[in-house]
Amino acid sequence: MDMSKYQDIFVAESRENIIILNKSLLEFEKNPATLEPLDEIFRSMHSLKGMAGAMGFEALADFAHTTEDILDQMRKKAISPSAEIIDILFTAFDALETFVEQTAIGKAYDTNFLDLKYQFEALVSPQESVETATLFPDLPIAGLASLDDEATEAIEKIAGLKSPDEKNYDVTVFLDKECQMKGVRAFIVLKTLKEIGTLVQCEPPEHDLEANKFGYQFRMTLKTAKSKEEIEQAVLKIFEIENVRIKTPTSSQESKQKRGPSKKQVAIPQTKSVRVAIEQLDNLMNSVEELVLNRGRLARVTKSLNNSQISGLIEQLARLTTNLRDEVMQARMVPASETLDRYPRLVRDVSKELGKLVDIKIEGGDIELDRTVLDQISDPMVHLLRNAIDHGIESPDQRELHGKPEVGTIKIIVSRERNNVLVSVEDDGKGLDPATLKQKAAENGICTHEEASQLTDEEAYMLVTRPGFSTSSVVTDVSGRGVGMDVVRTRIRSLGGTLSIQSTINVGTNFGLRLPLTLAIIQGLEVDVYGETYVIPLANIMETMDIYPEAIQTIKQEEVTILRGDIVPLVRLGEVLETPGAVETAMVNQEGLAAVIVEVGSRRRGLVVSGLIGQNEIVVKPLRGIINMVNLFTGVTILGDGQPAFILDVASFL
Amino acid sequence: MATYEKELRQKQIYSDSHKTQIVVFCVQNEEYGIHINKVLEISELVSIVRMPRAPHFVEGVINLRNLIVPIIDLHKRFNLPPRENTPATSITIIDGNEGNRAGFIVDEVKEVISLSVDQIDEKPMLLNQSIGSDFIAGVGRLDQRLIILLDIDNILKVSSDSQ
């Protein structure tokens, strides 16, 4: 059967499973006394194995199987969870992840799981396996894995033939109505049943099942020595099985008993959701945006008609389109934990590698933000975490010297603030020393000693985001190449967000990311620049003020104004944008100007405009084609009157 | 100059059937043509929003049914004398490679003509022309008329010198 169409589902489900695997193993590592994480791992590993088998990834399925054995032994305390085993398990999860990611990009990955497999098998002694085998006859047997497969099969067959209790069961399986991979699920069911008995008959025939040519149920005759309950359990373990009905041909009474649903609800929570490709959501979003735009224009055009019936309808239309847009936006939102949950594992590995003790705490993982934004901050977050462990957190000895707890703490806190999401990465390490930063910046040729000496502490912290800046005397594998923070700042900026750094020596450092909730629709301030309209993203705006000629001063030929004691350099938009008529108008009429105070990072500027028009929700359209390299703008929007207006890239005015 | 690849491309655009339909327009009294499949629509000269720091030949952008389309002044692109707007001045919206839409401001859109393959000279001798040969894909001959067939993808390309 054609598996390619199932590949995306396989990848998506496997990714989820791998996240659970890592998360649970971390929990288990922290507290080996609790068994729930192990159960969780076991469940995820099991479904991963099932999927892999169904997709025909033999090596993966086989490997997952072996891993399962180890987990099983640990669960039964047959082997103790040593640091070594945990490490191997993490390595194993990584190997699984690599496989899945390679599959995602369509590469047949030649994973050599064998090394790991042998490591595992070495951990399990044969005696224990036999014991396992007798205790849990339907679980995979690790010790036997080393036996010749054929021999094993033969032994099982003989055992089966000798069994006097073999019966024919009539098994009817009902698939979940929301099941997306009917064929695969059916295949897994058949495979599972074949493991516990002999399939005598199948209706519809097997190949029809695999080719999806059936409804939501199918019927088989299974010859096995297992009890009805055991068959039922085995089948209900599989995902997306709604129910199973099993009857022995001899007894018709049992057939009336419907089993499963209540039990199933406990085992597999029913998810009322479908997977939708991001691209499809993007297209939907685009259409909705245009609908919103047209609604605005319709309202404007019909306003002069003064027809109460039409305006009533338009009001209703406005409500509907707003709802629709909110729903689509909501559909694009995912909880931050989707990305954050991967970090404990990263922190564990990096800190181990660097010989540091680090604990990670995550708050606000349930806060939702746009899928695209979340994807885009993944790399920057990894940089920040690596930096925090490498440069922030001190070694255990040093920490003790400073009277700090041996174990350092990194906190990731996500919070909502109006239309922004704030993500902060905070460590309790040695902090940034402005003096050292200035010194290094001068040494690296980023600025002169004189320039450096004039920087405020906050400005000095921002030096770390300059290209080519590095304080590490040793270039490690983790950080110190002076590329990371530069990339972080650029990425955050391109998302329309800002990065701020706060630090106290010996107390710690806080990297704050302020991100827009969504990229497609932003709040913007429309401003008039001598007859032309531009939009400034509200996320960058601190405040607006009227500005009079006498409030403009000059320092070193640069115009500035004083805002509550702070010097704010001014940028005349009319000049930068070369607006026709800006010069003559400016000469004659200096009255009635306004300044929009914007901030990027810790730098402020006052953008001088000739008028403020108003604040609006605007739809951002990217600049495409011949105009895509004009760097003053992040995009363009269509105003209520149908005219295009460019959206200023505030950072390019600093 | 006319590499094999380019020849192939031109053939595809201008010679893919017996008769080729060409939209003919005027810029500074010369006749130019674009294959009809590349022309999305012809619009009157609507108001154009200036785009600061854009290449000099980009007049600005317009909103074409919620699509932002950059508008190119062919007078400027071809280094011809400045354009004078008349009621006949129009915008030809074209569809370049990779969905690169753009509008060309032209002095007048004249007609749609049919040219057969033998009426198209794919490797024109350099005419006494001020427009760059990169912009020319071929020359069509109809009776006594010469129609310069444009290579719109090169026109939409920004090289460093055109900034």
Torsion angle (degrees, nearest 10) of CA A515, A521, A523, A529 = 110
Cβ-defined contact of B63 to A290 (cutoff 8 Å): no
Amino acid at A294: N
Question: Among A7-11, A321-325, A382-386, A549-553, which range has the highest average pLDDT?
Answer: A382-386
| pLDDT score recorded for residue A152 | 45
- Per-residue confidence at A257, pLDDT binned at 50, 70, 90? very low
On average, the pLDDT of chain B sits at 82
Task: Please tell me the number of Cα atoms within 13 Å of A319 on its side-chain side.
Answer: 5
N-terminal to C-terminal alpha carbon distance within chain B:
24
Pairing of β A198-203 and β A167-175: unpaired
Out of A290, A293, A626, the one facing B70 most closely (by C-beta) is A626
Cβ-defined contact of A638 to B70 (cutoff 8 Å): no
| pLDDT score recorded for residue A87 | 82
| pLDDT score recorded for residue A272 | 67
- Per-residue confidence at B137, pLDDT binned at 50, 70, 90? confident
Per the CB < 8 A criterion, the answer to whether A59 and A113 are in contact is yes
Cβ-defined contact of B158 to A646 (cutoff 8 Å): no
Tens-digit pLDDT profile for residues A299-354:
878 878 888 888 888 888 888 988 888 888 888 888 888 888 888 988 988 888 88
Residue B160 in contact with partner chain A when CB distance is under 8 A: no
Tens-digit pLDDT profile for residues A497-530:
788 899 999 999 999 998 877 776 777 899 999 8
Cβ-defined contact of A577 to B96 (cutoff 8 Å): no
Which positions in chain B touch A534 (Cβ < 8 Å)? none
Residue A204: is the preceding peptide bond cis (ω within 30°)?
A: yes
Pick B16 or A508 by higher pLDDT: A508
CA–CA distances in Å: residue A409 to residues A397, A406, A653: 15, 10, 38
Per the CB < 8 A criterion, the answer to whether B77 and B57 are in contact is yes
Q: How many CB atoms lie within 10 A of CB A541?
A: 18
Per the CB < 8 A criterion, the answer to whether B135 and B78 are in contact is yes
| pLDDT score recorded for residue B42 | 92
CA–CA distances in Å: residue B98 to residues A593, A626, B5, B69, B113: 43, 12, 18, 14, 26
Residue A607 in contact with partner chain B when CB distance is under 8 A: no
Residues with Cβ within 8 Å of A508's Cβ and at least 6 positions away in sequence, in order, are A392, A426, A427, A428, A429, A431
Residue B103 in contact with partner chain A when CB distance is under 8 A: no
The average pLDDT across A571-591 equals 74
In this model, does residue A563 exceed pLDDT 90? no
Q: What are phi and psi of A341, to 5 degrees?
A: -60, -15
Amino acid at A609: V
Q: How many CB atoms lie within 10 A of CB A594?
A: 17
| pLDDT score recorded for residue B20 | 84
Which positions in chain A touch B96 (Cβ < 8 Å)? 625
Residue B71 in contact with partner chain A when CB distance is under 8 A: no
List the single residue in A with minimal CA-CA distance to B98.
Answer: A625
Per the CB < 8 A criterion, the answer to whether A70 and A124 are in contact is yes
Cβ-defined contact of B102 to A290 (cutoff 8 Å): no
| pLDDT score recorded for residue B123 | 63
CA distance B160 to chain A (A): 12
Residue A293 in contact with partner chain B when CB distance is under 8 A: yes
DSSP code of B83? P
Tokens of A58: 């033999």
Out of B52, B62, B100, the one facing A578 most closely (by C-beta) is B52
Residue B66 in contact with partner chain A when CB distance is under 8 A: yes
- Per-residue confidence at A269, pLDDT binned at 50, 70, 90? low
Tens-digit pLDDT profile for residues A197-208:
777 777 777 777
- Per-residue confidence at A472, pLDDT binned at 50, 70, 90? low
Which positions in chain A touch B99 (Cβ < 8 Å)? 624
- Per-residue confidence at A175, pLDDT binned at 50, 70, 90? confident
In this model, does residue A366 exceed pLDDT 60? yes
Q: What are phi and psi of A29, to 5 degrees?
A: -60, -40
Q: What are phi and psi of A474, to 5 degrees?
A: -110, 130
Q: What percentage of chain B carries pLDDT values higher than 70?
A: 79
Selection from A48, A99, A92 nearest residue A70 by Cα: A92
The residue written with tokens 């009857």 in the block is A247
Q: How many CB atoms lie within 10 A of CB A47?
A: 21
The residue written with tokens 């002044």 in the block is B73
- In angstroms, the CA A437 to CA A571 distance is 29
Q: What percentage of chain A carries pLDDT values higher than 70?
A: 81
Tokens of B86: 């008349």
List the single residue in A with minimal CA-CA distance to B46.
Answer: A643
In this model, does residue A102 exceed pLDDT 60? yes
| pLDDT score recorded for residue A134 | 36
Mutation site, B43, B47, B59, B61, interface A, largest A CB count within 10 A: B61
| pLDDT score recorded for residue A4 | 63
Tokens of A501: 């750094």
Pick A272 or A357 by higher pLDDT: A357
The average pLDDT across A51-59 equals 76
Selection from A513, A349, A504 nearest residue A422 by Cα: A513
Residue A643 in contact with partner chain B when CB distance is under 8 A: yes
Cβ-defined contact of A636 to B68 (cutoff 8 Å): yes
Tens-digit pLDDT profile for residues A120-146:
666 654 434 333 333 334 434 343 333
Residues of A annotated as catalytic are 46, 68, 387
Please state the ipTM of this predicted complex: 0.84
Per the CB < 8 A criterion, the answer to whether A536 and A527 are in contact is yes
SS3 (DSSP) at B16: coil
List the single residue in A with minimal CA-CA distance to B95.
Answer: A625
- Per-residue confidence at A555, pLDDT binned at 50, 70, 90? confident
In this model, does residue A411 exceed pLDDT 90? yes
Out of B50, B66, B156, the one facing A638 most closely (by C-beta) is B66
Residue A573 in contact with partner chain B when CB distance is under 8 A: no
Cβ-defined contact of B58 to A626 (cutoff 8 Å): yes
- In angstroms, the CA B45 to CA B152 distance is 20
Selection from A558, A561, A633, A624 nearest residue A596 by Cα: A561
Which positions in chain A touch B47 (Cβ < 8 Å)? 643
**Relative orientation angle of helices A36-55 and A182-196, to the nearest 10 degrees:** 110
CA–CA distances in Å: residue A529 to residues A139, A582, A645, A647: 74, 8, 12, 13
Amino acid at A531: G
- Min mean pLDDT across A54-68, A536-550, B67-81 is at A54-68
Positive or negative: CA dihedral A616, A619, A623, A625: negative
CA distance A285 to chain B (A): 14
The average pLDDT across A72-93 equals 79
Q: Which helix (H) or strand (E) holds B155?
A: helix B152-155
| pLDDT score recorded for residue A151 | 45
Mutation site, A528, A573, A607, A626, interface B, largest B CB count within 10 A: A626
List the single residue in A with minimal CA-CA distance to B66.
Answer: A290
| pLDDT score recorded for residue A128 | 41
Q: What is the 3-state secondary structure (H, E, C) of A447-496?
A: CCHHHHHCCCHHHHHHHHHCCCCCCCCCCCCCCCCCCHHHHHHHHHHHCC
The average pLDDT across A111-119 equals 66
Selection from A622, A636, A631 nearest residue A650 by Cα: A631
The average pLDDT across A519-544 equals 87
- In angstroms, the CA A614 to CA A516 distance is 20
Q: What are phi and psi of B106, to 5 degrees?
A: -125, 160
Pick A210 or A533 by higher pLDDT: A533
In this model, does residue A181 exceed pLDDT 80? no
* E-only strand ranges, A74-193: 167-175
Pick B161 or B25 by higher pLDDT: B25
Which positions in chain B touch A645 (Cβ < 8 Å)? 49
On average, the pLDDT of chain A sits at 77
Tens-digit pLDDT profile for residues B33-74:
999 989 999 999 989 999 998 999 999 999 987 788 999 999
Residues with Cβ within 8 Å of A388's Cβ and at least 6 positions away in sequence, in order, are A410, A425, A427, A429, A509, A511
Cβ-defined contact of A643 to B49 (cutoff 8 Å): yes
- Per-residue confidence at A45, pLDDT binned at 50, 70, 90? confident
Q: How many CB atoms lie within 10 A of CB A251?
A: 9
DSSP A242-288: EEEEEE-TT-STGGG--BSHHHHHHHSPPP------HHHHHHHHHHH
The average pLDDT across A631-639 equals 86
List the single residue in A with minimal CA-CA distance to B53.
Answer: A630
**Relative orientation angle of helices A126-135 and A58-75, to the nearest 10 degrees:** 90
Out of A580, A625, A630, the one facing B53 most closely (by C-beta) is A630
Helices (H), A107-148: 114-123, 126-135
Size of interface A-B (CB pairs under 8 A): 63
The residue written with tokens 């500074």 in the block is B28
Pick A40 or A139 by higher pLDDT: A40
| pLDDT score recorded for residue A526 | 93
Tens-digit pLDDT profile for residues A85-95:
888 888 888 88
